[in-house]
Homo-oligomer: A and B are copies of this chain.
Amino acid sequence: MKGNVIVGQSGGPTAAINSSLAGVFRTAIDRGAPKVYGMRHGIEGLLNEDYVDLSDYIRTELDVELLKRTPAAYLGSCRFKLPEIHEDIACYEKIFSILDKLDIECFIYIGGNDSMDTIKKLSDYAILNGHPCKFLGVPKTIDNDLALTDHTPGYGSAAKYIGTSVKEIIQDSKALIYKKGLVSIVEIMGRNAGWLTGAAALSKGEDCDGPDLIYLPELPFDIDDFIARVKKILSKKPYAVVAVSEGIRLDDGRYVCELTDGIDFVDAFGHKQLTGTANYLARRLAQEIGCKTRTIELSSLQRAASHMASRVDILEAAQVGGAAVKAADEGDTGEMVIITRVSDDPYGSTTELRNVHKVSNVEKVVPREWINKDGTYVTDEFVAYVKPLIQGDVSPIMVDGIPRYLLHNPKKKK
């Protein structure tokens, strides 16, 4: 490569997003890019000319390894939606003048649906204006809801953490006996797609029964039916473990977490916060069955747990980052790198490119046939799909008993 590379991270953090950054950096250096810049806080930072020369911060092979094991966006993230080109040409002119100033040949954006929208607009603008810069998207989201790709980097590690944590919760639930039974409800991320919640089934094996019930947001949730099922489970054994998506909704479309009275679920920005689903259900169970209940929200732990990262996930994340640089160097633009599954067992995958116009803003949900008839569990097909993605470990680099990271959020040098 003769020109420079710039890379940014966007949207919600994951345990693998920095492995993609490491892949971009390594491949760009390997292919002879003179400079690899990092936007701080994505395109929003770039607009303020807030960027760093990554070679100042990633100096050794150990730094690269630390970066792969550092959770959440190393460069800082943003949630910034670019205006349409015709709405605000000045914004685009500004971005491209900065890119020209930095002699950028290749612009890589690591993110989810919104980030692919950014790649689409920037590559469209470049083509319309005959600008030579190449724009490539690198998928990232724990939600696994991006279209076209078999799965997204970040999902495998989150799934591994969820399977492990739910297994630990089940063991904990079995230890104590309560007279009227104990119900543990685990609330898992996923507004519209149940990929993460379904991963609770990974806890099931010859040493563990797995959760008793799993509810995904893809199907309407029936509270009375739920209570009846829990009652039945408690008539046979002293505990039940239930995994629910934060986004489960009633038949009429209301979120279960909206049913709570006395709690204001709208935050300071007017965003409806999807939290409280497990608490609401726990209270209903306590009222109607009289059982002991407890709720466990996996919260941001599930997207930041790099100490439980999947090796397949971390390697693939680096691979898609590298593939994006290679594609740009070979003249591609306006494409997202996708992962294609070659085989399940032994698992094999490869990367390909897909036009971002086909990708953006389509949410991939769990297929109906991967959820059981009653809507209370995922099928073996679902588990067979996820299993390869959680294989292998990435040992944290432990210093003094705690995982070490590459120092976060580098500041621009004066």
CB 8 Å contact bits of A37-73 with B (1 = contact, 0 = none): 0000100000000000000000000000000001111
User: In the complex, how many residues of chain A place their beta carbon closer than 8 angstroms to a beta carbon of chain B?
Assistant: 78
Query: From residue A406, how far is it (CB to closest CB) to chain B in Å?
Result: 7
Q: Which residues of B contact A202 (CB under 8 A)?
A: 401-402
Residues of A near any B CB (own CB < 8 A) = 9, 12-13, 41, 70-73, 76-79, 160, 163-165, 167-169, 171-172, 174-178, 180, 184, 202-203, 205-208, 261-264, 267-269, 283, 286, 290-297, 299-301, 303-308, 310, 387, 390-393, 398-409
Q: Which of B205, B292, B296 contacts A301 (CB 8 A)?
A: B296
B264–A283 contact, CB under 8 A? yes
Q: Which residues of B contact A401 (CB under 8 A)?
A: 160, 163, 202, 310, 387, 390-392
The answer to whether residues A175 and B306 also contact, given A294-B300, A301-B301 and a CB cut-off of 8 A, is: no
A168–B71 contact, CB under 8 A? yes
Name which residue of chain B comes closest to A405, CB basis.
B207
**Most chain B CB inside 10 Å of its own CB: which residue of A304, A305, A405:** A304
B293–A267 contact, CB under 8 A? yes
Name which residue of chain B comes closest to A299, CB basis.
B296
Cα distance A2–B369 in the bound complex, in angstroms:
61
A391–B387 contact, CB under 8 A? no
Cα distance A206–B408 in the bound complex, in angstroms:
11
